[in-house]
């Protein structure tokens, strides 16, 4: 038991309060199967965890934390495989619950969103971590799947996608992802910077409190798996009130980890989070959320006491914290002479990054950056608007969305059904003004476009890098469109590579939304290095990174794909067969085979 601070500083961390006491039944492993979630939003019981249940969870984890470093690699593989099988067994319930909560129509292409954002990402992570653990058992470290090159900036670039075998190469034809390493990592010493936790005797043990995200349903489990399988800490996972309806399903799916003593799941809002964060048995904290939540955990609520703590370097939280926080995500369009087909493809690509998950994503595009005098500028933006107009308003399921919409637009959400919000794109915002559009993540379906004045394409790159790095808040992810001829040209090509090197973002997507790199699970996911408890920006540390390159040696992940893709990508809103394509991709990720690959291709060709 611990004593909470006198003030309830956690109150601003969640949008929903449950009162001043922690009450109600906890769905422990012992109760699994006796209580089943039948509704995504209305429940027959209060799922908030009691203090004594949290204590018992942590006491069980305290026993498990000493066992985890001693657990054999074959046993870890068994646990990961059991978790994979559990995910597959619960996958349809997962999809059903998420669609119900978000107002998506079952049996249609709309399902694809939460198949991809939830089940597919989780299955892919588990398959890849099983492969890496198998490599550790055989060779002592994960075996890298591709090239290791030194970039023009002198830093090492390690290819981590496509993964080993032919399936990724075919399913994601033309896509590549590299981890760019920091200075000092060379070809010769790279093996010393892979899977150090396992190579150095799996030293250390601990309990990590993972404060789960409420928007993307693969975040809570994959954050927990990163801690367990890659860092050797057991996990107390607190579900976010927004998507806590998934918790009982996670308990069933990951019962093997629960029974092993490596995972427990709790529920509730502010008081549960505060109690768990300051519990004597919790050794570290990981949060996916906003910078405001992070600062409240570390320093307390805004006010004189927080100011004093910061001035005295006296954080309220005396434990290590890692985080993945928000971002005013840029989508930068390098000027060029694009064909009409390329413009339309990329317009839908960009619009998709606004439409996906009703824009409740930490890397939903918020600022489109163009060359002010690019001849195709208005045509491209018209195409983007056409895609937005073609998609009906979505249920604004994330709490506080309407208030944020009003604050960022100065308008009422009119002209759409109750409970939904209109897709809003404001053009030609002054790059020297911008205000809150540039400085605060709106976390709602409002985006803007701004045009930078530049003498030519190379000058635009310099100004775009400066604008993204110094004018926009956050360092989580950025996306760039570039014409192939510009990238391949002997003069502009090196300038483009230098531009990507200068972007201070944890993930850069070239010709495709940077969030795809999140779904690949091989690249690291987190803010650009340099965040601290005093200024976390978009977070501290990395998750995913399933080839286990040492976190402190990573600078960024860069994913690149073709300017257009055929067949139509399943993540495009106009892909009417997306739900079948993504279900096939889940099966392929679970157990790769030629037959399953063929099924994915056939579904994709049906569009």
More confident residue, 34 or 357: 357
For strands 554-560 and 176-181, give the pairing: antiparallel
pLDDT at 596 over 60: yes
Min mean pLDDT across 11-20, 225-234, 241-250, 557-566 is at 11-20
Question: Using CB atoms within 10 A of its CB, is residue 387 exposed (0-12), middle (13-18) or buried (19+)?
Answer: buried
Q: Give dist(CA 591, CA 424) in Å, integer.
A: 41
More confident residue, 13 or 189: 189
Residue 46: per-residue pLDDT:
60
Residue 166: per-residue pLDDT:
87
3-state DSSP assignment of residue 58: helix
Min mean pLDDT across 33-37, 459-463, 594-598 is at 33-37
pLDDT at 29 over 90: no
> By the 8 A CB rule, do 493 and 132 touch?
no
Element (H, E) at 594: helix 594-605
Nearest in space to 299 (alpha carbons), one of 281, 286, 283, 312: 312
Q: How many CB atoms lie within 10 A of CB 108?
A: 12
Q: What is the phi/psi pair of residue 316, to 5°?
A: -65, -40
> By the 8 A CB rule, do 328 and 527 touch?
no
Q: Retrieve residue 541's tokens.
A: 């540390």
Output the CATH code of domain 1-142+200-284: 3.40.605.10
pLDDT at 36 over 70: no
Helix axes 51-67, 270-277, angle to 10 degrees: 40
Residue 270: per-residue pLDDT:
83
CATH 3.40.309.10 holds for 329-506: yes
Q: Where are the domains of the chain?
A: 1-142+200-284, 329-506, 576-607
Q: Give dist(CA 490, CA 34) in Å, integer.
A: 66
Would the CA dihedral through 293, 295, 301, 302 be positive or negative? negative
Would the CA dihedral through 4, 46, 120, 399 be positive or negative? negative
Angle at 454 between CA 450 and CA 459, to 5 degrees: 115
* 162: preceding bond cis by omega (within 30 degrees): yes
pLDDT at 28 over 70: no
For the stretch 524-578, pLDDT in tens is 999 999 999 999 999 999 999 999 999 999 999 999 999 999 999 999 999 999 9
For strands 156-161 and 176-181, give the pairing: antiparallel
Give the pLDDT mean for 132-138.
98
Mean pLDDT across the chain: 92
* 451: preceding bond cis by omega (within 30 degrees): no
For the stretch 502-537, pLDDT in tens is 999 999 999 999 999 999 999 999 999 999 999 999
Rounded to 10 degrees, the C-alpha dihedral 274/204/26/100 comes to: 90
Reported confidence tier of residue 415, pLDDT bands at 50, 70, 90: confident
Q: Is the backbone of residue 359 left (phi > 0), alpha (psi -120 to 50) or beta?
A: left
**What percent of the chain shows pLDDT beyond 70?**
92
Residue 506: per-residue pLDDT:
98
């Amino acid at each position: 038991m611990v004593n909470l601070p006198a003030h309830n500083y956690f109150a601003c961390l969640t949008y929903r309060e449950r009162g001043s006491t922690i009450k109600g039944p906890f769905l422990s492993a012992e109760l699994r199967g006796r209580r089943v979630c039948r509704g995504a939003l209305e429940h027959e019981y209060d799922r908030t965890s009691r203090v004594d249940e949290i204590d018992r969870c942590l006491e069980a984890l305290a026993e498990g934390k000493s066992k985890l470093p001693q657990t054999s690699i074959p046993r870890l593989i068994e646990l990961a495989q059991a978790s994979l099988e559990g995910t597959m067994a619960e996958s349809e319930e997962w999809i059903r619950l998420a669609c119900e909560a978000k107002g998506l129509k079952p049996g249609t292409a709309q399902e694809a969103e939460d198949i991809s954002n939830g089940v597919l990402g989780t299955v892919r992570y588990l398959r890849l971590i099983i492969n890496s653990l198998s490599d550790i058992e055989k060779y002592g470290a994960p075996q890298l799947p591709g090239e290791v090159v030194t970039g023009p900036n002198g830093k090492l670039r390690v290819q981590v996608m496509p993964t080993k075998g032919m399936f990724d190469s075919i399913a994601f034809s033309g896509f590549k992802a590299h981890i760019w390493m920091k200075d000092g990592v060379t070809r010769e010493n790279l093996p010393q910077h892979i899977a150090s936790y396992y190579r150095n005797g799996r030293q250390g043990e601990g309990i990590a409190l993972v404060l789960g995200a409420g928007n993307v349903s693969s975040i809570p489990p994959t954050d927990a798996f990163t801690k367990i399988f890659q860092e050797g800490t057991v996990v107390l996972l607190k579900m976010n009130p927004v998507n806590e309806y998934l918790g009982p399903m996670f308990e069933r799916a990951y019962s093997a980890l629960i029974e092993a003593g490596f995972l427990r799941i709790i529920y509730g809002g502010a008081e549960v989070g505060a109690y768990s964060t300051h519990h004597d048995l919790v050794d570290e904290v990981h949060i996916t959320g906003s910078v405001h939540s992070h600062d409240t955990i570390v320093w307390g609520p805004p006010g004189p006491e927080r100011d004093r703590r910061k001035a005295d370097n006296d954080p309220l939280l005396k434990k290590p914290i890692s985080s993945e926080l928000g971002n005013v995500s840029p989508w930068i369009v390098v000027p060029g002479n694009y064909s009409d087909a390329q413009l339309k493809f990329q317009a839908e690509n960009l619009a998709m990054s606004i439409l996906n998950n009703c824009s409740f994503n930490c890397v939903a595009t918020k600022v489109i950056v163009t060359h002010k005098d690019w001849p195709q500028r208005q045509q491209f933006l018209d195409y983007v608007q056409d895609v937005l107009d073609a998609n009906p308003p979505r249920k604004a399921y994330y709490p506080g969305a309407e208030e944020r919409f009003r604050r960022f637009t100065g308008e009422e959400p009119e002209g759409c059904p109750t409970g939904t919000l209109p897709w809003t794109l404001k053009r030609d915002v002054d790059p020297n003004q911008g205000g809150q559009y540039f400085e605060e993540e709106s976390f709602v379906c409002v985006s803007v476009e701004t045009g930078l004045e530049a003498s030519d394409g190379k000058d635009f790159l310099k100004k775009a890098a400066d604008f993204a790095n110094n004018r926009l808040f956050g360092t989580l992810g950025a996306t760039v469109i570039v014409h192939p001829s510009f990238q391949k040209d002997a003069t502009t090509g090196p300038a483009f590579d230098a531009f990507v090197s200068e972007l201070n973002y944890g993930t850069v997507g070239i010709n495709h939304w940077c969030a795809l790199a999140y779904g690949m699970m091989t690249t690291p996911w987190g803010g650009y290095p340099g965040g601290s408890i005093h200024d976390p920006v978009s977070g501290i540390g990395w998750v995913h990174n399933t080839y286990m390159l040492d976190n402190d040696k990573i600078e960024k992940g860069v994913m690149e794909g073709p300017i257009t893709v055929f067949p139509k990508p399943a993540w495009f809103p106009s892909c009417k067969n997306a739900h079948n394509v993504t279900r096939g991709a889940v099966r392929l990720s679970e157990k790769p085979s030629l037959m399953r690959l063929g099924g994915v291709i056939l579904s994709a060709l049906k569009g």
